[in-house]
Amino acid sequence: MNADVIALDANLAVLMIVGIANPKYIEKHKNLHPEYDVKDFDLLTDILNQSSQVIFTPHVLTETSNRLRQIKNPMKDEISHVFKEIIHSNDEKIVISKAAASRPEYIRLGLTDAVLLEIGTTGATLLTADLDLYVAAVTADLKAANFNHIREQRRDDFH
C-alpha cells in the first residue's frame, strides 16, 4: 500500500502504540490478543513508514486512549508515555461532530467512524481493520485500505 497521508482507525492506532512501547505487550493487551501479533505490528509499521504523514482526530485519539488503558501497570504507564509522544509528534485534524453526524453512515457506524469518513474527503487514505468502515469508505468513493486484506495478501505471498 502506498499512500501519502494515512488516517488510522482506533484499533490500528492501539496496535501501533502498544507495539512501539514494546512488541511483547501485544500478546498481553486484551484489545489486541489474539487478533494481532508482532508480525501484524511489523506490517503496520512498514505501511506507515511508506507514508509521509499519519493523522489522527480527537475522536480516534479518545477511543485509542480508552482502549490503551485496558492493561495492567507497569505496561499501562509505559504505553501511556508512548501515546503522549505520538500525540505530540503527529497532526490532529478537527472534524466538527455535527458534520460527521450529518453523514448518512453515522447512524450505522457511529461518530468516530463518521469522522474518519469525513477525513477521507480530504484525500487521506483511511487504513482500517473494520470491514464495515472500509466498505462505507469504498462505497463513498474514498481512498481506503483494509488492513486485514493486506495481511492476508502478505500471508499468501509467503506461502
Q: Flag whether the pTM goes above 0.85.
A: yes
Closest CA to 83 of 117, 44, 56, 110: 56
- According to the model, what pLDDT value does residue 97 have? 96
Residues recorded for the chain = 159
- CA angle, 66 then 92 then 51, to 5°: 105
- CA angle, 42 then 13 then 24, to 5°: 50
Per the structure, the count of domains in the chain is 1
Q: Where are the beta strands (DSSP E) in the chain?
A: 5-8, 53-56, 91-92, 125-128, 144-146
Q: For position 49, which CATH number holds? A: 3.40.50.1010
User: How far apart, in whole angstroms, are the C-alpha atoms of residue 34 and residue 111?
Assistant: 27
For 101, 102, 141, the CA distances from 98, given in Å and listed in that order, are: 5, 6, 21
38: containing domain: 5-157
Q: What is the pLDDT along the chain (159 residues), one digit of tens a residue?
A: 667 999 999 999 999 999 999 999 999 999 999 999 999 999 999 999 999 999 999 999 999 999 999 999 999 999 999 999 999 998 899 999 999 999 999 999 999 999 999 999 999 999 999 999 999 999 999 999 999 999 998 766 654
Closest CA to 123 of 45, 55, 49: 55
